[in-house]
Amino acid sequence: MTSTPITIEQGASITRAFQLMLDNEYQQLPVLSENGHLVGVIHQRDCRCALGLPEPRATNCGTEMPIETRISPPKNLWVQHYMQPAPIIVEPETPVHEAARLMTTHHVRALPVMRGETLVGIVTVSDLLIAFMRLLRSSDAHSDQIDVGKRWRMA
């Protein structure tokens, strides 16, 4: 889990959200209301769609330049209009397998972590893969004998 993740306010521009993601190598940002409450999540793909940008390729497409230098977007593109509202959330005590189930079921790659009304982190697919690797290494499952070609079923 990433503790104290970078967030953006719902009234911020899409350009600002996209630049924050590029600068910090994030795929998504939690979106907060003016009162600091979680109201959604905005993804890079949402920003790309709003700005009319293609999906990135394997090569560097100039992300070292500020986004404003590369495009001239309309001035009225706001995060609140493109975010995914009411995100699926978890608590710090949520078991790893439950977070994985939620991501798989809802087709999301990150879950905001809430303690009551407070955003305390964000857990991503990468975080879960690291946790699963640690679990497999520490178990008697002989993870080196589990083939990637096997089709797994969710229980």
Helix locations, the chain, DSSP H: 14-24, 44-51, 67-70, 79-82, 96-106, 125-138
CA 144, 149, 154, 155 dihedral sign is negative
Asked if the structure places residue 151 within a domain, the reply is no
| CATH number of the domain residue 97 falls in | 3.10.580.10
pLDDT of residue 22: 93
- Supply the range of the domain harboring residue 105: 2-145
Which residues neighbour 104 within 8 Å (Cβ) at sequence distance 6 or greater?
154
Nearest to 18 by CA among 70, 60, 58, 59: 70
Burial class of residue 67, CB neighbours in 10 A (0-12, 13-18, 19+): buried
Asked if the structure places residue 153 within a domain, the reply is no
pLDDT of residue 144: 57
- Taking only Cα atoms into account, the Rg of the chain, rounded to an integer number of angstroms, comes to 18
Distance from C-alpha of 54 to C-alpha of 51, rounded to nearest angstrom? 9
pLDDT of residue 61: 47
Asked if the structure places residue 116 within a domain, the reply is yes
pLDDT of residue 60: 45
Q: What is the pLDDT along the chain (155 residues), one digit of tens a residue?
A: 889 899 999 999 999 999 999 999 999 999 999 999 999 999 999 898 888 887 765 344 444 545 554 555 556 789 999 999 999 999 999 999 899 999 999 999 999 999 999 999 999 999 999 988 888 777 665 555 555 555 555 55
Asked if the structure places residue 13 within a domain, the reply is yes
pLDDT of residue 147: 58
Chain centre distance of CA 46 = 12
Domain count, the chain: 1
Burial class of residue 137, CB neighbours in 10 A (0-12, 13-18, 19+): exposed
pLDDT of residue 2: 87
